Amino acid sequence: MLSQEDNQIRYKWDPKTSTGFQLRFDAEAAAQGGHYCYHVEDWTCRTVTNEWQCESLDEALGVLSRLFTIDVEQERRRLAAWPQATVLQAAA
């Protein structure tokens, strides 16, 4: 699920319990020259239970691929079609 408003992408997400994984891009940190602009978050019942800070989209996709089965190349292409891809690519 892609959310343009929050710069986040949810995977294996259950909207009733807010449980699953979320890839979040921190545009504010990127604008200030931050190094860890990508965040992979593990959510359980509306609470972040674990978080991995990543320097690049490739690193974040690598974290996701260790958490569950994901085709990294296919996901990279899907994200490139996202309207905010230019923001993601500029920070990479």
Q: What confidence score (pLDDT) does residue 91 get?
A: 47
Residue 89 lies in a domain: no
Global confidence as pTM: 0.79
pLDDT digit string, tens, across residues 38-65: 999 999 998 999 999 999 889 999 999 9
pLDDT of res. 1:
52
Residue 43 lies in a domain: yes
- Taking CB atoms within 8 Å and a gap of at least 24, the contacts of 38-44 are 38/91, 40/64, 40/67, 42/67, 43/18, 43/19, 44/17, 44/19
Distances (CA, A) of 10 to 34, 38, 77: 23, 13, 16
- Residue 86, domain member (yes or no): no
80's enclosing H/E stretch is: helix 72-80
Instruction: Look at residue 24 and tell me if it is in a domain.
Output: yes
Name the residue range of residue 7's domain.
Answer: 2-81
CA–CA distance, 51 with 21 (Å, rounded to integer):
10
Is pLDDT at 70 greater than 90 in this prediction?
yes
Residue 12 lies in a domain: yes
Does position 21 have pLDDT exceeding 60, yes or no?
A: yes
State how many domains the chain has: 1
The total number of residues written for the chain in this structure: 92
Residue 88 domain-assigned? no
